[in-house]
Each structure stands twice: as C-alpha cells, then as structure tokens.
Amino acid sequence: MINKLFLLLIGLSWMSASQAEISSQLEVSSLNFISSDYATDQEKSFVFVGAEIKSQNAETDIFKINLNGKYASKNSVLSYLNLKEIYFTNHINATSSLHIGRKLQSWSVADEKFNLGSYQTQFRWNPLDIESQGLFGVFYEKNLGSGWNLNLFGTPFFIPDQGPNYEVKDGQFQASNPYFTPPPQNIIFQNVILPIDYNIIKPEVSEVVQQPGFGLKLDYLSESFEASLAGTYKPSNQFAFGYKGILVTNRVRVDIQPKTYYEKLTSLDVATKWKGGKAGLAAIYAEPVNPEYTANYNYPVFAPNTTLVPYIRFEFEPIDIEIAALNIDGGEVTELGPDANPNRQPLTQKYLYTRAYQISAALRSQWGDQLKVLSSLQYREAEKNLLQTLKLKNIFDIQGPWKMTLDVFLVETSDESSTVSNYRNLDQVWAGASYEF
C-alpha cells in the first residue's frame, strides 16, 4: 500500500511542477546509525527516495498543501507519507476567511516548542525529530481590529498521531524498524520466564475517525506585547492502551486494545517584545477524560496536568538564540486492573519527560553568489529520564534547483528502566540531495 501511495506522490510532484504557487522536489537521501550500542544484527544504513509538494504560502492562494514522503527500498517498513496540511480557503471579505481541510496553526507556544502533541497531532516517525501536523476540520478566522484576532475550529473527524511503522509476525514484534520500541517479549510467571505472544485488537477506522471536536483561540498583538488564549475539547492525539494476559500452555498471550479518549485543553501565552528579542511564558492545563475498559482489562488512568514553558529569544543578525524550559506538574499515568503493578512502567505513556530545558540557535549565511547555508542547532536535556539530545540540521542551497542537506542527531541517556533506554541506539547521520522543479 505504501508503495502505491508513494508512486502517487511522485506523480503529483510532476503534475504540480507546472503550478506557480506550488513547488515540487525529488530527493535521494541516506540514513546511517552510528551508535556503538546499535544492535549488530540489524542493518545500519538505509537509502531513501523522497518527494515533496509544498505551497509557497501566497496570501491569495485558495488551495495549500504540504506533503512529503520517503521510500526505503531495502526496508519498506521505514517508508512513510507525511501530510502536514492540505486545505481550501474562502476569503469571505477583507477581515474574515474560512478554511476547510487539514491546517497547521499555532495553538500554544509550549505545545510547539517541545512537541508535546497536546493540541496538534505529531509526526513521530523519528522520535528524535518530531514534527507537527495540522488538525482536520473547518477553521474560521476573523480580524476584530485593534490588534485582536478570533479563530474558531470545529470538526466531525479525528486523526491521531502518526508513529513509526511496525511488524507483528506470529505474535512477536519484529526488529525491522529501529525507530519502533517494542514491548517486552518475555514475562516472569511463577518464577518461570515465559514468551509473550501479542494480539493487537485494532478498532474499526470509523470508531477512531468519526469523533467530533471544537476549539477557540483569541489573539492580541501589538508592537511590544502579544497574548493568546485558546481552548479545545477533542480526542487526545495519543491512544490509551488496555491489555489482558492469558496463559496458553507454556506461553502468555497478551491482547492489547487501543482506545481514544477525550481531553479538555486550555492555554494562555503572553510575551513581551523588543528590537532584537522576545521573552514569554506559555501555560497549558489539560484535563483528560479517562477511557472505559471491561473489568478483565488492565487500563490506564490519566491525571490532569499543568504545563509551564518560560522562554527568551535573542536575534543577532545573522544568528538567533533561544533558551526555553519545560515543567509539567501532574500528568501521571497509573494502571488499574487484575494484573496492574505499581512497580512496573505503564504500557501507556503520556509524556516522555516532565522537566527539561533546551538551547537552540539558527544561523543564516551567504557564501558568495552561489551558496546559501541555513543551519540550526538544538540541545535538550530532560531531568526525568536523564535524556540528552543534540540536533544539528544544515541546508546548503546552491544557486538554482539543487539543495544538499546534512543532519546529525545524537542522544544519550542513563535510564535503564523505560523505553527511553532504547533511544541511545539512535545516534544518526542523514545526508541528502534534492532537485526542485
């Protein structure tokens, strides 16, 4: 299926190349895992063929799209399509517009800076390089004047986070995708280690997709101050996982049942600005509505939580520097049920970490008339899992249609008790070349 969709994407790239408002590009890239902890029996290098279709964001456009994908010939489970946004716009008058489709929108500064996935869905194919995807529905924008703007959102549909692909064969999760962290393959039962066979009870597509939601956002913007108040009631972008174990001779069968659940979100952003800088505080209050499971299942219980993100940004042409911190109070996930164990990590995870800080920088440089270089660097350290990540991205824009990319992602953790421990295997280097039509 992914092969056919990718061929369709390449076809659309060629077709849209003739449209002035849409750019298309084809790309060849390589991925190399460089960690010494990486499993020696797994392939370390992969080659991808990619394509992208992206609107140029002209204000008068009535149709916008941002779609990209990669195909890995040696390991198709690594292939993906990432539809960030696709929507139509009706400019009702000079002060109001109506958008229909999947649209990216900044609901909360805290949500965007740390990719929490509270408001907008997240593309989690690579856990070290998470990207936001837009919500799907109807968006109404109204300029109220004097710096005030109103945004209303409503939808009859829901699309959850997009994670890494995985394979299950004969009840066992396969190690075919380095980005996917499988659950435990064995369990101790009456002092005997028994293998686990997993059975995923997939919900009907209609049960997941046909769920309404709505939201509101009010913005104020002046030369030296900006503020935003937002709220939504919609399904959480992450699934809850219930499970039950059944002893079958000398093996344990575990049925896993994913479920969606609703979440009430309220957020407030305030910031002050000056020439060459900006400082602000962003807050989110989340109140989950816990899903219901039958009595024989072990199931997660979500606690309300408050997120605070203070940040400060300095703009020194040609470099920008920003410092931000994350603090989540609450948000614990506990398990209840016949086999629940408070000393075992819950199968469902809400936040990878609850306290962290990050330092990021962006550099724009021009080398003669032929080469423009865009570089970004981000260092993040999380307290809960003692997780440290470093992301370096470079785009070498050669005069003309060619671009080269070089990205390096490094990760270190001393956590041995959670899924984060597998991240130390994911030190990686990406190199690619693209041609824009």
Q: Each residue of 250-275: pLDDT tens digit?
A: 888 889 999 999 999 999 999 999 99
Pick from 301, 305, 276: nearest CA to 290: 301
Structural domains in the chain (count)? 1
Range of the domain at 112: 95-351
Which residues is 81 bridged to in the sheet? 69
Residue 208 located in a structural domain: yes
Residue 194 located in a structural domain: yes
Q: Each residue of 115-174: pLDDT tens digit?
A: 999 999 999 999 889 999 999 999 999 999 999 999 999 999 999 999 998 887 777 777
> 423 in helix, strand or coil?
helix
Pick from 241, 251, 244: nearest CA to 197: 251
Residue 151 located in a structural domain: yes
Alpha-carbon gap, residue 210 to 215, rounded angstroms: 17
Residue 32 located in a structural domain: no
> 53 in helix, strand or coil?
strand
Q: Is 0.85 topped by the overall pTM?
A: yes
Residue 58 located in a structural domain: no
Residue 73 located in a structural domain: no
Q: Each residue of 62-112: pLDDT tens digit?
A: 889 999 999 998 888 899 999 999 999 999 999 999 999 999 999 999 999
Residue 50 located in a structural domain: no
Confirm if 124 and 387 have CB atoms less than 8 A apart.
no
Residue 9 located in a structural domain: no
Proportion of the chain above pLDDT 70, given as a percent:
92
Confidence band for 12, pLDDT divided at 50, 70 and 90: very low
State the first-to-last Cα distance of the chain, in angstroms, to the nearest integer: 26
